[in-house]
């Protein structure tokens, strides 16, 4: 029996707990061992929740429990999440996260710390929600020199742009709809100004090119200046407007950007609508491959978290020569 | 240094040899060790080829060479390929293959034999060419109960249907074009009668549902009866005709089929044109995900073969609790 603790009982955290329950037999079969959620850390109380008995506000109950070998960090942000992740490593616990801010800003340091402590730090859920993209980039396309990544990486803005195009809504009305549906937060700037996409393309690029790309250096423009008439103009030319996050590796180095782009309707990304995400990857052997699916949401994201947990359990007690994610080894000190 | 031998110096085999050369430093970094092609088995001679010095017609030079730990089988078919694969296992050598016929017909037996000999049998290249699909299904979606797979799995027929639609060619002329381009063989029945798609959906379904699906039991219809007027009729209704391989898992069991289908133009598979392949997967956590790319060709397929080689090297000397592909464990004797 492998014991897991979840930090943060929000949308993704509760999704992980519920998914582990719902698909427990398949998960145990895949991992080669039953896996149990033992504790959940949250400062809030959830008296009527089915899992309320597992919830604690005292992190010591988790970090001092040697029977817990895997920590799921779904707190978000870079404060408590950073502190708890480092603490987990120092206690010899593996960490799985969906936290793109933390991975984009402290990834190399955290991966190095995990390696020193002979544990794993996996973050498939940090980009693309349920879409398998980090493991395919890192493992399945390992024989390729990757030259280009182009993606729709933010579901909220893609939902808004789809609504503006299909329902002729203004930017403001599309934003209201996204907020009503729970896709956009009360302060939606991280999505609509492109910061969320920026962190995600930084993570994907770092893995694809085996070299850490600092998200702060990526020119980033969101969709807040896009009007309905821009979208109608694009449509008249047989095109659509999408918020595109992209990067290229050339002989002169790596370049990346996030910006709205007018793309023709026959482009593979043009048909990606609603909250869906997609990532196009160019490699020198495969040519072009695309990965498409739900880029956010409770269970899609939980699916990626649990796949990482299974991977860790499947390799437990096994010293790997390489981590699943190799880019930390390429970093300059 | 890890030594590899390639059996069969055809399109895929030569692609593997060239790709290992071209991307050798990236491959070594990913695998944690340099990897070298030491021998190539082929009955033909290639006197002017850059790799002619490695080519031998004597398989003993490969199987009796203890320094060769990985065999790449790109012979195809089920005769010599079967014999050599079993021999490799008995000699403690891992095998990577692109051979869908062999995996679809003898997969469970070969996986069991590999397991007995504590070696791996990996076959990412057997379905979808360069598209990462077997590893994503098996590992990335491991937390999902998968209920449905729908795919365009044969590049030749998809090229022909695209040509009939876009260029208004007859079936016969589209076939001639596919043969001229080298997509279809002189005897094209495996592609156009759906047998190739049938073996591929059998392999994907066996992995997705953790239960061996015998390809001989899958009702299979190809595109040889599709006329230009069928395609034009579909187009008038806002639809396209595609050769669809699909399977479902319900409470009453697993069903699968291969048949031409009329699908609406807004279906995610409708825009998959030319020799591209795509696979849509439904899981109870992710919802829907799609994997898209070049389903065949020298370097895309070689990319998948080399990714499997890297995976084996990365795990060398490490007893895995579970194989990458778990379905053999689920088989009834």
Contact by Cβ (8 Å): B5, B39: yes
Assess contact for B280 and B150: CB atoms under 8 A: yes
With 50 as the cut, is the pLDDT of residue B333 above it? Answer: no
Contact A26 B145 (CB under 8 A): yes
Q: pLDDT tens-digit profile of B237-295?
A: 999 999 999 999 999 999 999 999 999 998 999 999 999 999 999 999 999 999 999 98
CA atoms of A140 and B308, how far apart (whole Å): 8
Residues in chain B with CB shorter than 8 Å from the CB of A320 are 314-315, 318
Query: Residue A324's pLDDT is what?
Result: 42
d(CA A308, CA A328): 18
Q: Residues near A302 by Cβ (< 8 Å), separated by ≥ 6? A: A12, A15, A16, A18, A19, A125, B143, B285
> Looking at beta carbons, which residues of chain A come within 8 Å of B144?
23, 26, 303
Which residue of B288, B297, B303 is in closest CB contact with A144? B303
Mean pLDDT of B121-133: 94
Name the nearest CA neighbour of B11 among B301, B292, B220. Answer: B301
For residue B34, how many C-alpha atoms fall within 13 Å in the half-sphere facing its CB?
6
Q: What are phi and psi of A7, to 5 degrees?
A: -100, 115
Tens digit of pLDDT for each residue in A11-59?
999 999 999 999 999 999 999 899 999 999 999 999 999 999 999 999 9
The proportion of chain A whose per-residue pLDDT surpasses 70, expressed as a percent, equals: 95
Q: Do B210 and A319 touch (CB under 8 A)?
A: no
Contact A153, A201 (CB under 8 A): yes
Q: B267, exposed or middle or buried, with CB in 10 Å at 0-12, 13-18, 19+?
A: middle
Contacts A330 to B, Cβ<8 Å = 29
Instruction: Taking residues B135-155, report their average pLDDT.
Output: 96
Contacts of B166 in chain A (CB under 8 A): none
Nearest by Cα to B273 from B117, B164, B147: B164
The complex's ipTM works out to: 0.92
Name which of B35, B5, B4, B3 is nearest B22 in CA terms.
B35
Please, how many CA atoms are within 13 Å of residue B226, restricted to the half-sphere of its CB? 32
Q: Measure CB to CB from residue A132 to each of B33, B141, B311 and give the nearest one.
A: B141
**Residue A119: pLDDT band by 50, 70, 90 thresholds?**
very high
Q: Is the pLDDT of residue B331 over 80?
A: no
CB atoms within 10 A of CB A6: 31
Contact A141 B307 (CB under 8 A): yes
pLDDT at residue B298 above 80? yes
Give pLDDT tens digits for A149-198.
999 999 999 999 999 999 999 999 999 999 999 888 778 999 999 999 99
Contact B310 A268 (CB under 8 A): no
**From CA B91, how far away is CA B66, in angstroms rounded?**
8
- At A317, is the pLDDT very low, low, confident or very high (cuts 50, 70, 90)? low
Query: Are A292 and A277 spatial neighbours (Cβ–Cβ below 8 Å)?
Result: yes
The top-scoring range by mean pLDDT among A267-271, B288-292, B312-316 is B288-292
Residues of A marked active site are found at 200
Measuring CA to CA, which residue among B93, B97, B137 is closest to residue B114? Answer: B93
How far apart (Å, rounded) are the C-alpha atoms in residues B37 and A65? Answer: 48
Contact list in B for residue A131 (CB cut-off 8 A) is 286, 289
Please give the residue that has the higher pLDDT: either B111 or B186. B111
User: Helix A100-116 vs helix A80-90: angle between axes, to the nearest 10 degrees?
Assistant: 20
Among A226-230, A317-321, B44-48, B241-245, the range scoring the smallest mean pLDDT is A317-321
Nearest to B285 among A300, A311, A319 (CB): A300
Which tokens go with B228? 């230009």
Interface test with A, best of B32, B132, B266, B327 (most A CBs within 10 A): B132
Which of A16, A25, A132, A152 is the mutation pick for testing B, counting most B CBs within 10 A? A132
Q: What is the 3-state secondary structure (H, E, C) of A158-188?
A: HHHHHHHHHHCCCHHHHHHHHHHCCCCCCCC
Per the structure block, which two tokens stand in for A329? 């080894």
Give A318's pLDDT tier (boundaries 50, 70, 90). Answer: low
Q: What's the whole-number mean pLDDT along residues B222-251?
A: 97
- Candidate from A23, A140, A306 with C-beta closest to B307: A140
Task: Tell me if A293 and B286 make a contact (CB, 8 A cut-off).
Answer: yes
> Are A277 and A183 contacting, i.e. CB atoms less than 8 angstroms apart?
no
Does position B328 have pLDDT exceeding 80, yes or no? no
Q: Are B137 and B326 in contact (CB under 8 A)?
A: no
Single out the residue of B68, B84, B93, B242 nearest to residue B155, CA to CA: B242
Q: Does residue B50 have a pLDDT over 80?
A: yes
Residues of B in contact with A132 (CB under 8 A): 132, 136, 140-141, 289
B200, B248, B249, B282: the catalytic one is B200
Q: Which of B33, B293, B321 sits opposite A32 (nearest CB)?
A: B321
Cβ <8 Å between B320 and A307: no
Tokens of A119: 């544990």
Q: How far is B85 from chain A (nearest CA, A)?
A: 23
Q: A136–B140: do the CB atoms touch at under 8 Å?
A: yes
Nearest chain A CA: its distance from B289 CA (Å): 4
pLDDT for A314? 85
d(CA A84, CA B330) in angstroms, rounded, equals 39
Nearest to A148 by CA among A157, A140, A137, A158: A137
Helix or strand (DSSP H, E) at B109: helix B100-116
pLDDT for position A322: 47
CB of B187 within 8 A of CB of B306? no
B242 phi, psi to nearest 5 deg: -130, 150
Query: How far apart are alpha carbons B38 and B56 in whole angstroms?
Result: 11
> If you average pLDDT over residues A128-136, what whole number do you get?
92
Rounded Cα distance between A136 and A308, Å, is 13
Dmax (CA) for chain A in angstroms is 62
Q: Which pLDDT score is estimated for A321? A: 47
For residue B184, what pLDDT band results from cuts at 50, 70 and 90? confident
Beta carbons of A124 and A99 less than 8 angstroms apart:
no
Query: Which helix H or strand E contains A6, and what residues bound it?
Result: strand A2-7
pLDDT for B317 equals 62
Q: Is B200 a catalytic residue?
A: yes
Q: What is the pLDDT of residue A186?
A: 77
Give the pairing type, strands A146-152 and A121-122: unpaired
pLDDT of residue A185: 76
Residue B231 has pLDDT above 70, yes or no: yes
* Residue-level pLDDT at B171: 97
Secondary element (H or E) of residue A20: helix A11-22
Task: Give A297's contacts in chain B (Cβ within 8 Å).
Answer: 287
Residue B151 clears pLDDT 90, i.e. is over it = yes
Which of A306-320, B131-145, B272-286 is predicted least confidently? A306-320
Supply A159's token pair.
Answer: 């939902």
Confidence of residue B332 (pLDDT cuts 50, 70, 90): very low
In the predicted model, is pLDDT for residue A218 greater than 50? yes
Average pLDDT across chain B, whole number: 93
């Amino acid at each position: 029996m492998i014991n897991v603790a979840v930090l943060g009982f929000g949308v993704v955290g509760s999704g992980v707990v519920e998914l582990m329950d719902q698909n427990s037999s398949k998960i145990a079969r895949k991992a080669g061992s039953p896996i149990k959620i033992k504790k959940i850390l949250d400062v809030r109380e959830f008296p009527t929740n089915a899992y309320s008995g597992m919830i604690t506000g005292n992190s010591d109950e988790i970090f001092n429990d040697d029977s817990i070998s895997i920590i799921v960090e779904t707190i978000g942000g870079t404060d408590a999440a950073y502190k708890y992740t480092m603490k987990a490593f120092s206690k010899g616990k593996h960490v799985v996260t969906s936290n793109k801010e933390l991975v984009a800003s402290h990834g190399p340091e955290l991966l190095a710390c995990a390696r020193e402590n002979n544990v794993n730090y996996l973050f498939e859920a940090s980009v693309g929600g349920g879409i398998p993209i980090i493991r395919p980039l890192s493992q399945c396309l390992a024989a390729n020199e990757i030259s280009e990544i182009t993606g729709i990486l933010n579901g909220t803005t893609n939902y808004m742009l789809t609504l503006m195009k299909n329902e002729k809504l203004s930017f403001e009305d599309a934003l209201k709809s996204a907020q009503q549906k729970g896709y956009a937060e009360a302060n939606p700037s991280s999505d609509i100004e492109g910061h969320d996409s920026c962190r995600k393309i930084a993570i994907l690029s770092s893995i694809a090119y085996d070299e850490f790309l600092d998200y702060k250096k990526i020119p980033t423009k969101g969709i807040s200046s896009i009007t309905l008439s821009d979208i109608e103009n694009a449509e008249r030319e047989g095109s659509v407007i999408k918020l595109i996050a992209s990067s290229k590796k050339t002989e002169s180095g790596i370049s990346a950007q996030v910006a709205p782009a007018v793309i023709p309707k026959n482009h593979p990304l043009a048909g990606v609508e609603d909250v869906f995400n997609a990532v196009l990857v160019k490699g020198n052997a495969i040519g072009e491959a695309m990965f498409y699916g739900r880029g956010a949401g409770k269970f899609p994201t939980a699916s990626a978290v649990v796949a990482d947990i299974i991977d860790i359990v499947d390799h437990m007690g096994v010293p790997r020569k390489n981590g699943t994610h190799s880019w930390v080894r390429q970093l300059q000190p």
